Amino acid sequence: MVDILPENTPLWQSMEDAALEVLSSYGYSEIRLPIIESTELFARSIGEVTDIVEKEMYTFADRNDESMTLRPEGTAGCVRAVVQHNLAVTPQRLWYMGPMFRYERPQKGRQRQFHQLGVEAFGVATPDQDAELIALCRQLWCRLGVDDALQLEINTIGSAADRARYREALVDYLSLRRDQLDEDSQRRLETNPLRILDSKNPDTQSVLDEAPLLQDYVDADAQADFDQLLDYLGALNIPYAVNPRLVRGLDYYNKTVFEWTTGHLGAQSTVCGGGRYDTLVETFGGKATPAAGFAIGLERLTLLMQALDITVSTPADLYVITAGETAFRHSLPRLDALRRQYPELDIIQHLGGGSFKSQFKRADKSGAAWALVYGDAEVAAQQVTLKPLRADAEQRTIADEELDAFVAGYLAEAQGA
Ligand code: ATP
Ligand code: MG
């Protein structure tokens, strides 16, 4: 489990703010979901023989001996909530953000507790919905300055029936070449053969070169929707690569699947993954409702921002220095009024006393733009001294009443900059 430290939270907050802005601009509403759900919920939706359910879940028996699981992803819980609260009206656009848990080998971009932003849209079966989701992603990438570093990979995996037919053909083909497969893929040949397609093992990949293609098993309806989606992406000027081996690791997907990948993060290259899951609502006992969604791995997105040297710093505006007890007391109502009048102004007051010299040292270190100084002389004369800490400006001493005008001017300038 990983702590997100104060030096990194500004980056997280700017990412979250941008996401919230983009999501509301498309009419998506937030839904807040529990972190623990019954184990069966995940097994049933994600699939018994997926990596997640087989070996990655944090599962425990609660005091009543019911099997519970820390959510490894958000779609299952979201669909449960949609069914439970009759939210599957058309269209229903939802998002959620929060921690997910998977028992994995921790490494860069892979943690046991990590965070996802999930976006789910219910009720629309046509590829205009898929296009909207992908366009929304791109808007977010642009706002964060990472759009040049992310590529869209996309595929259609057809219906469950299409995949069942393809699965047979693939198993026939691979069974004859079983000894050329890596150990993991040999095991998957029995359990989840489609996952072999995205094996990272180069030998396995070369065996796959001649393998039957999923494309050839996808029915005309799914293919037509896919072509329509690609046409919309063209209209949106979103570059994409059709990756015929992209299948995604969760059982509930059908038709469109996509991933946004980057070359900047090494092996953990997928920042966002999603697709259509038209049968999941029904699986959970709801009325048949088409749906599509995606999840962004927020750690990987912040790592990408860092790799691109995108920095966010939020230094204070004012650092307040006071000469002693009397000056401190004198400053209190003045700062209180200032905070009330300018909620956007960041004021750090020096606490714990100390010499002017040591207070100025702290002021410098804080990164604040100006020091606000109440010395004995200032207090006696109802004045305040303003010393620039970063700005190229003159130090000045002004009357208390003039502080308001100074702050207003400072904020106007800061907003203009
Ligand atoms: P991977 O192939 O990297 O294991 P996945 O297919 O398991 O990814 P999804 O279940 O589709 O991933 O989750 C969506 C996104 O969540 C991923 O693309 C990734 O950015 C992020 N993610 C998944 N697992 C982790 C993890 N253990 N640590 C950090 N981020 C993760
Ligand atoms: Mg995984």
Structure confidence by residue, pLDDT tens digits, 131-159: 999 999 999 999 999 999 999 999 999 99
Tokens read off for 377 = 């002389």
Say how many Å lie between the CA of residue 297 and the centre of ligand 1. 6
DSSP character at residue 121 = E
Answer yes or no: is pLDDT of 56 > 70. yes
Residue 303: the pLDDT is 97
CA-proximal residue: ligand 1, atom 6 (nearest): 249
Looking at the CA of 259, name the nearest ligand: 1
- pTM (two decimals): 0.93
H or E stretch covering 128: helix 127-144
For residues 104 and 52, give the distance between their C-alpha atoms in angstroms, rounded to a whole number.
Answer: 9
Contacts of 358 (CB under 8 A, 6+ apart): none
CATH 3.30.930.10 segments of the chain: 9-158+218-307
Residues at CB less than 6 angstroms from ligand 1: 73, 102, 104, 109-111, 114, 116, 249, 268, 270-273, 295, 297, 299-300
Residue 417: the pLDDT is 66
Say how many Å lie between the CA of residue 73 and the centre of ligand 1. 9
Looking at the CA of 108, name the nearest ligand: 1
Looking at the CA of 118, name the nearest ligand: 1
Share of the chain above pLDDT 70, in %: 100
Answer yes or no: is pLDDT of 236 > 90. yes
DSSP string, 371-401: EEEE-HHHHHHTEEEEEESSSS---EEEEGG
Answer yes or no: is pLDDT of 392 > 90. no
Q: Angle of helix 160-175 relative to helix 183-191, nearest 10 degrees? A: 130
Instruction: Give Rg (Cα) of the chain.
Output: 28
Residue 72: the pLDDT is 97
Say how many Å lie between the CA of residue 215 and the centre of ligand 1. 25
* Average pLDDT, rounded, for the chain: 95
Residue 17: the pLDDT is 97
Say how many Å lie between the CA of residue 52 and the centre of ligand 2. 7
Ligand 1: residue of 55, 250, 268 to mutate (most ligand atoms within 8 A of CB) is: 268
Residue 199: the pLDDT is 86
Q: 211 with 177: CB under 8 angstroms?
A: no
Answer yes or no: is pLDDT of 250 > 80. no
CA-proximal residue: ligand 1, atom 7 (nearest): 249
Q: 373 with 389: CB under 8 angstroms?
A: no
Contacts of 126 (CB under 8 A, 6+ apart): 225, 228
Ligand 1: residue of 96, 112, 114, 117 to mutate (most ligand atoms within 8 A of CB) is: 114
Mean pLDDT of 318-341: 97
Query: CATH homologous superfamily for 318-416?
Result: Anticodon-binding domain (3.40.50.800)
Which CATH class name applies to 9-158+218-307? alpha beta
N-terminal to C-terminal alpha carbon distance within the chain: 39
CATH 3.40.50.800 segments of the chain: 318-416
Of 56-60, 72-76, 196-200, give the lowest mean pLDDT range.
196-200
Q: How confident is the model at residue 391 (pLDDT cuts 50, 70, 90)?
A: confident
Three-state secondary structure call for residue 132: helix
Mean pLDDT of 170-190: 93
CA-proximal residue: ligand 1, atom 21 (nearest): 297
Residue 7: the pLDDT is 92
Q: How do residues 257-297 score in pLDDT, each as one tens digit? A: 999 999 999 999 999 999 999 999 999 999 999 999 999 99
Q: How confident is the model at residue 327 (pLDDT cuts 50, 70, 90)?
A: very high
Three-state secondary structure call for residue 178: helix
For residues 281 and 83, give the distance between their C-alpha atoms in angstroms, rounded to a whole number.
Answer: 7
What ranges make up the beta strands (E) of 146-226? 151-156
Q: 347 with 317: CB under 8 angstroms?
A: yes
Q: How do residues 351-365 score in pLDDT, each as one tens digit? A: 999 999 999 999 999
